[in-house]
Amino acid sequence: MVFKAPKKVSWQHFQSLPIGRQLPLFLAVFCLFTVIGFFSDLLNLGHVPYAVVLLSAFSSGVIAMLYLLVATRYPGYYNYILTALQLLYWFAFGYITRFLIEHLHLRPVATETGVRFAGIAIFIAVILSYLLFIWFIRGEGQEAYRIKNELRLAHSIQEMLVPPIHMRIPQFEIYGRSDPSDKVGGDLVDALQMEDGSCVAYVADIAGHGLQAGILMGMLKTAARTALLDGGASSPHAVLPTLMERLNRVLPCVKEPQMYATFAGFRLNSDGTVFYALAAHPPILQYNAHASEQPVASMSAQQFPLGLLPVNGFSSEVTTMAAGDLLIAVTDGILEACNQSEEEFGLERLQRVILENCAASLPALSEKILDAARSFGMQTDDQTLLLIRRL
């Protein structure tokens, strides 16, 4: 498994927080940095007048709050502006203190009294800072726990919507599984047996991953099953094109404009023939158990993804399978797994895994494929596969 270097710290979470939720954090930072003003008084043996000490402590706290505000709300170059203003302020601070001492007739404080005052003030500031940090962390912890519960619920819903598939029909064995990269993924694998004894199995990959893609995935599965059960297509070769056209009409109404779905579908007929159709999906592989040379062939089709453009005219192709032959469809989460050299797992490595394990059971073959992809590179996207064997 490959581990990537940690990404640069992002403040997007804090930028999305209302100021009211950030208030305890700002106050905690203010209290913590007021210590600088009191500490500088300790360095002067407590002789600095109380008003000047309080002004210095207040200024230190406000400046720290401003740096936090800039870091969480504004572009990075604002830090340079704030630094310049801080230098000007500290340059002017000497004149301000002299003005206060002269016009308010402030006198130095006795060492014992001044040190005691600064020490007590530091103790109070640190305690207040600690309590405010705890307040902020507790509030964010409750919010994180709520989100975690919602993601756990979404994950359980996904497991219900996309369970592993293992079916046997008179001519074929079908196995499919989807492993999301997050709690919720956007990949879908499904199979549905029709009344005439045929079966439709397909893989769909929603662009992106996470909760938004997971929601659209659930809608796509519902729409696909509804379209298939309606039985609108009269001939076997028209089943997949009709399904794709219906999905292409339905998806734009329930998604963000930039989202779409790739699709790889199969209609498995009772006579052993197979119709297949692809929409912007990676090539599918067919393993010929009786071929002496190049037993694994790739099959592709240039068609638009579903839900992106208002196009029609989707088509399907036909292939034949002999006993022991395999069809393999995977999503780009497997093919695009990258190693440290930024090399992709790719179709060639997938073909080698298939050739080495072609006699294994379909669940075992799926494990071999996923293990090979994950040992090659870290999983960063949903990984889904569909395996079909002619019996």
- pLDDT for the residue 207: 87
Tell whether the model's pLDDT for residue 6 goes beyond 60: no
Tell whether the model's pLDDT for residue 104 goes beyond 80: no
d(CA 89, CA 286): 73
- pLDDT for the residue 234: 63
- pLDDT for the residue 233: 55
- pLDDT for the residue 100: 78
Structure tokens at 227: 């379209």
Residues 93-128 as b or e (16 or more Cβ within 10 Å = b) = eeeebeeebeeeeeeebeeeebbebbeebbeebeeb
Higher pLDDT, 360 or 5: 360
- pLDDT for the residue 11: 61
d(CA 266, CA 329): 10
Q: Which element (helix H / strand E) includes 188?
A: strand 187-193
Q: If 0-12 CB within 10 Å is exposed, 13-18 middle and 19+ buried, where does residue 325 land?
A: buried
Q: Which element (helix H / strand E) includes 275?
A: strand 273-279
Cα radius of gyration rounded to whole Å, the chain: 32
Percent of the chain predicted with pLDDT > 90: 50
User: What is the mean pLDDT of the segment spanning 132-150?
Assistant: 84
The model's pLDDT over 267-324, given as tens digits with 9 standing for 90+, comes to 999 888 999 999 999 999 999 998 878 899 999 988 999 999 988 889 999 999 999 9
Tell whether the model's pLDDT for residue 15 goes beyond 70: no
Tell whether the model's pLDDT for residue 2 goes beyond 50: no
Mean pLDDT of the chain: 87
- pLDDT for the residue 160: 75
The model's pLDDT over 207-238, given as tens digits with 9 standing for 90+, comes to 876 778 888 888 899 999 999 988 655 688 89
Shortest CA distance to 291 belongs to which of 361, 351, 349, 345?
351
Asked if 82 and 62 touch (Cβ cutoff 8 Å), the reply is no
Higher pLDDT, 246 or 142: 246
Task: Please state whether 330 falls in left (phi above 0), alpha (psi between -120 and 50) or beta.
Answer: beta
d(CA 179, CA 211): 14
Q: pLDDT-based confidence at 332, cuts 50/70/90?
A: very high
- pLDDT for the residue 202: 97
Q: pLDDT-based confidence at 41, cuts 50/70/90?
A: confident
Q: pLDDT-based confidence at 369, cuts 50/70/90?
A: very high
Tell whether the model's pLDDT for residue 5 goes beyond 60: no
- pLDDT for the residue 149: 78
Q: pLDDT-based confidence at 186, cuts 50/70/90?
A: confident
d(CA 348, CA 298): 10
Percent of the chain predicted with pLDDT > 70: 93
Q: Which CATH class is domain 164-390?
A: alpha beta
- pLDDT for the residue 19: 77
The model's pLDDT over 56-89, given as tens digits with 9 standing for 90+, comes to 899 999 999 998 888 888 877 888 888 888 888 8
Structure tokens at 258: 């930039």
Sheet containing 317-320: which strands, arranged edge to edge? 187-193, 199-206, 261-268, 273-279, 317-320
The number of C-alpha atoms within 13 Å of 186 and in the hemisphere containing its C-beta is 20
pTM passes above 0.75: no
- pLDDT for the residue 68: 87
Per domain, the residue ranges of the chain are 12-154, 164-390
Q: If 0-12 CB within 10 Å is exposed, 13-18 middle and 19+ buried, where does residue 371 land?
A: exposed
